[in-house]
Chains A and B, each alone.
Chain A
């Protein structure tokens, strides 16, 4: 793999080293995806989906030269205190922990699973390889990632933590497939980190299949990753009476693009999406979400909040589709933002497309500043400005943290967020 600036010409992407090449049954998919990517290329500034987020340009400019890794990554630095979890950690593309064998759960490298024919029914079927150039690139280039299967009826008591550490200048693609069987339940937490301040590019695609009556809690914690450019696509397909809770916490990074899509292909589904982006410096974070109500009688609720300081930029785009067949859908969406500096920006856009007539949908987005009256009130009680400000911002952000269902994760996030907010330079 060359360590020069990424050439976005797909023929020069080093994709020949992707894991997909070793899986004969996926040869056609590989070739079609390659041809497609060659044809469409990466999205330029005119592309509607990327108009606020110049990911292609950022990758073109990304220099991966001269950035040696530390070689000594201490996994304990990234541990969530008091969380009894099964942790699998990757430093760059290498798995540095042993694979868990717990509770009948199947966790194996995706490449191995697909070679055995496991997951082949879902791979690249939940996330269409041609739906986005960066997904196409991932499909060709992924070298690591997991197949996770929770057998029917199993409830995993321990959450599974997948830690992605980038050490030094790396460019890597990861691919996960999570299959939750009928009446099964599990929690998967993906955490992203990079050592030092070096540049890195991480492209992760996660596909989820949640069968009838099953539940999947999915977390993305993007915290200690200065210098990182990340493309993170997750799409989950839900069957009847299933439940998905998704949490996305973006507390750092250089440029982050999260594409999160839930497809409610069943009745009686419940889906919750919570997000918090807490940005400073020149961090750019873009959350594109899609909730697709395909069948009747399901419920979705989305709450994303953002706080932007310095010259940071937030982008939120929330699509809700209610298909003609999806009567009695309840779909709610809310995006609220606070700008702390005049140079910070946010672009927020709800997009509702409703083809059914008997539905309840609402959306709202707000962008404001910190409430000066509230700030004065707290200061008039003797609380210094910086502390009062942190209290108000935490009160704003806290709603997303309060929604976290695992207490240790909630505490971890609460502590990290309040520490950040109390720092005067935030």
Chain B
């Protein structure tokens, strides 16, 4: 599904990703952990197509296509979805408002007929239930005055609406209360099928109890320095990152 080879990226003079290799197959869940500032969000942004970051080396193939050659909107239509760590506020644009355009863009790209107002509404109702989000929130200006948890829930609502092949969740757990975490994670699991994949960026084991990863990777200074199974997350939770850093230095 996703094949990242020697990915290097910088912003300005600041080299942030230093040769990332990652292979994600259909049906797999990969967790990416790592200390603050190690480049996790940068990796997610580069995959989503943020132009601020300049890819200096490497390649990314997504479903057999050259991902790096695509614009952010093409990537989304091809089936990449990134749930933002810090979702932006957009005054004057409501979720309902732009999701209708987004859903139909994605559907048209997949050769599906555009949804009319009625079917859009029923799809929306269904997905609202999935993440337990209120309609009134979706009618408000995007993220303006939303609580931290509401923003994250809204990201997953959009994920559900767009039904991507690869979801990249950047710290979706931060800001969610205990109940919301479970609801959102259940929602993500319900959307998961064997032809879909997830990359989940998190600092905490708690989310991984619900969204159980097949692989856990540690990103440090822009490189994946350790990979393992789900037990690696438990080990990190218990021991912190120092031992990983030490083993890199050694």
Asked whether any CB of chain B lies closer than 8 Å to the CB of A399, the reply is: yes
Contact with A along B84-117 (1 / 0, CB 8 A): 1001101111000111011001100100000000
Q: Could you tell me the distance in whole angstroms from the C-beta of B42 to the nearest C-beta in chain A?
A: 14
For the A-B complex, the count of residue pairs with Cβ-Cβ distances under 8 Å equals 74
Contacts of A394 in B (CB 8 A): 92
Complex Cα spacing A392 to B72, Å: 17
* Interface residue A101 (Cβ < 8 Å from any Cβ of B): no
Cα(A373)–Cα(B90), bound, Å: 9
Are A381's CB and B99's CB within 8 A?
Answer: yes
Within 8 Å CB of A379, what residues of B? 49, 71-73, 76
B residues in contact with A373, CB < 8 Å: 88
Supposing A376-B50, A377-B84, A377-B87 touch, asked if A383 and B73 sit within 8 A by C-beta, the answer is yes
| Contact, CB under 8 Å: B90 / A382 | no
Name the A residues within 8 Å of B218 (CB-CB).
none
Once A387-B101, A391-B98, A391-B101 are accepted as A-B contacts, the answer to whether A380 and B93 lie under 8 Å apart by CB is: no
A398/B105 contact (C-beta < 8 A), A379-B49, A380-B48, A381-B158 known: no
In the complex, residue of chain B having the shortest beta-carbon distance to the beta carbon of A372? B52
**How far is A67 from B88 in the complex, measured between Cα atoms in Å?**
52
User: Complex formed: what's the CA distance from A379 to B88 in Å?
Assistant: 13
Could you tell me if B72 and A376 are in contact, using CB atoms closer than 8 angstroms?
yes
Tell me whether B93 and A392 are in contact (CB under 8 A): yes
Contact B162–A377 (Cβ < 8 Å):
no
Q: What are the interface flags for B121-159 relative to A under an 8 Å C-beta threshold, 1 for contact and 0 otherwise?
A: 000000000000000000000000000000000000010
Interface residues of B, CB < 8 Å — how many? 29
Instruction: Please report the C-alpha to C-alpha distance between residue A385 and residue B105 in the assembled complex, in whole angstroms.
Output: 12
List CB contacts (< 8 Å) of B48-94 with chain A: 48-51, 71-73, 75-77, 81-82, 84, 87-88, 90-93
Query: A395 to chain B: which residues have CB within 8 Å?
Result: 90-93
Contacts of B92 in A (CB 8 A): 394-396, 398-399
Report the bound CA distance from A66 to B188 in whole Å. Answer: 69
The answer to whether A383 and B102 have CB atoms under 8 Å apart is yes
- What residues of A have a CB within 8 angstroms of the CB of B99 in the complex? 381
Q: State A389–B73 Cα separation when bound (angstroms).
A: 12
CB contacts under 8 Å to B, within A396-419, are: 396, 398-399
A380 in contact with B72 (CB, 8 Å): yes
CA distance A394 to B90 in the complex (A): 12
A75 is an interface residue with CB less than 8 A from chain B: no
For this complex, into which size category does the number of interface residues on chain A fall? 20 to 34
Interface of B is mostly: helix
Which of A373, A377, A391, A396 is most buried by chain B, counting CB atoms within 10 A of its CB? Answer: A377
Q: Which residues of B contact A388 (CB under 8 A)?
A: 73
Q: Is the CB of B82 within 8 A of A382?
A: no
Asked if B90 and A392 make an inter-chain contact with CB atoms under 8 angstroms apart, the answer reads yes
Given A387-B101, A391-B93, A395-B92, are A382 and B87 neighbors across the interface (CB < 8 Å)?
no
- CB neighbours (8 Å) of B93 from chain A are 374, 378, 391-392, 395
Within 8 Å by CB of B73, from A382, A391, A392, lies: A382
A381 contacts B98, CB within 8 Å? yes
Q: Is A14 an interface residue (CB 8 A)?
A: no
Q: Which of A381, A383, A392 has most B Cβ within 10 Å?
A: A381
A380 to B101, CA, bound (A): 12
Contact A385 B71 (CB under 8 A): yes
Which residues from chain B contact A324 at a C-beta distance below 8 Å? none
Q: With the chains together, A407 CA to B102 CA distance in Å? A: 28
Q: Which residues of A contact B105 (CB under 8 A)?
A: 382-384, 387
Nearest-neighbour CB distance to chain B for A127, whole angstroms, equals 36
Report B-chain residues with C-beta under 8 Å of the C-beta of A391. Answer: 93, 97-98, 101
Distance A391 CA – B93 CA, assembled complex (angstroms) = 7
Asked if A378 and B49 make an inter-chain contact with CB atoms under 8 angstroms apart, the answer reads no
Contacts of B90 in A (CB 8 A): 371, 374, 377-378, 392, 395
Q: Say whether A380 contacts B82, CB under 8 Å.
A: yes
Among B76, B91, B109, point to the contact of A380 (Cβ < 8 A). Answer: B76
Known contacts A380-B76, A388-B73, A391-B93; A374 and B88 CB within 8 A of each other: yes
Nearest chain B CB to A177 CB, angstrom units: 38
Would you mind naming 9 contact pairs between A and B with Cβ atoms under 8 Å apart? Answer: A379-B71, A379-B72, A380-B81, A381-B76, A381-B102, A383-B76, A387-B101, A392-B93, A395-B92
Q: Top 7 nearest A-B pairs by Cβ distance? A: A395-B92, A382-B76, A381-B102, A379-B72, A379-B73, A382-B105, A382-B106
Residues of A at the B interface (CB closer than 8 Å) are 371, 373-374, 376-385, 387-388, 391-392, 394-396, 398-399
**Beyond the given A378-B102, A380-B82, could you list 20 further A-B residue pairs with CB under 8 A, ordered by the A residue number?**
A371-B90, A374-B88, A376-B50, A377-B84, A377-B87, A378-B93, A379-B49, A379-B73, A380-B72, A381-B99, A381-B102, A382-B106, A383-B73, A384-B105, A387-B101, A388-B73, A394-B92, A395-B90, A395-B92, A395-B93
